[in-house]
Amino acid sequence: MEKVLKTKRKIRFQDCDPFNHLNNSKYLEYFLNAREDQIAENYGLDIFEYMKKTGLSWVVASNQISYIKPAFTMETVLIESQLIKYTDNVLLVEMKMWNQDQTELKAVLWIKFIQYNIQTKKAASHSEDLMKLFESVVLPIDQSVFENRTIEIIQELKAMAKV
């Protein structure tokens, strides 16, 4: 199974500011929509069907985002996501937005999701099947501090550009 999932999206006019840059708040929508599609297509996990059947879903507990370069109106971007950490009820997903050719990094995002029981309105534990899925697709990273991870990614890109 693929661990790093990739999707291309076109930046739409209505999502941009007067400078033709993707509005800061819209980055989150592009990232979340891409991740939702990626896990359905690659892992067969439709989160809405899962919620209907089990009464469980995931809520966003926190976001950490670094805006590196702007995404522009009508530009095609590549959105990449990977599960970097999980526990019995938490998922930490790292996402990156690139230009279409994956040569220019636009943004880095960490999203922390908590599994949530919509009936009891409390956090819930992942099932054994989900834990097996997460184990098969997790791609851990050494860095545990978002800001340090962002710096690390940028330094790696600069080093590759020199080669």
Give the pLDDT confidence of 57-66 residue by residue, as tens digits.
999 999 999 9
Within a 10 A sphere around the Cβ of 95, how many other Cβ atoms?
Answer: 25
pLDDT tens readout for residues 50-99: 999 999 999 999 999 999 999 999 999 999 999 999 999 999 999 999 99
**pLDDT of residue 127 exceeding 90:** yes
**pLDDT of residue 14 exceeding 80:** yes
Cα 111 from Cα 159, distance rounded (Å): 27
Q: What pLDDT sits at residue 128?
A: 98
| Residue in 100, 95, 124, 134 with CA at minimum distance from that of residue 112 | 95
Q: 127 in helix, strand or coil? A: coil
Instruction: Give CA torsion, residues 154, 148, 109, 78, to 10 deg.
Output: 20
Q: What pLDDT sits at residue 162?
A: 82
Confidence of residue 163 (pLDDT cuts 50, 70, 90): confident
User: What would the two tokens of residue 154 be?
Assistant: 């940028």
Phi, psi of 124 (to 5 degrees): -135, 155
pTM summary value: 0.96
Phi, psi of 75 (to 5 degrees): -75, 140
**pLDDT of residue 161 exceeding 90:** no
Give the domains, in start order, of the chain with CATH numbers. Answer: 5-162 (3.10.129.10)
Q: Which helix (H) or strand (E) holds 89?
A: none
* Position 113, amino acid: F
| Furthest-apart CA atoms within the chain: distance in Å | 55
**pLDDT of residue 104 exceeding 90:** yes
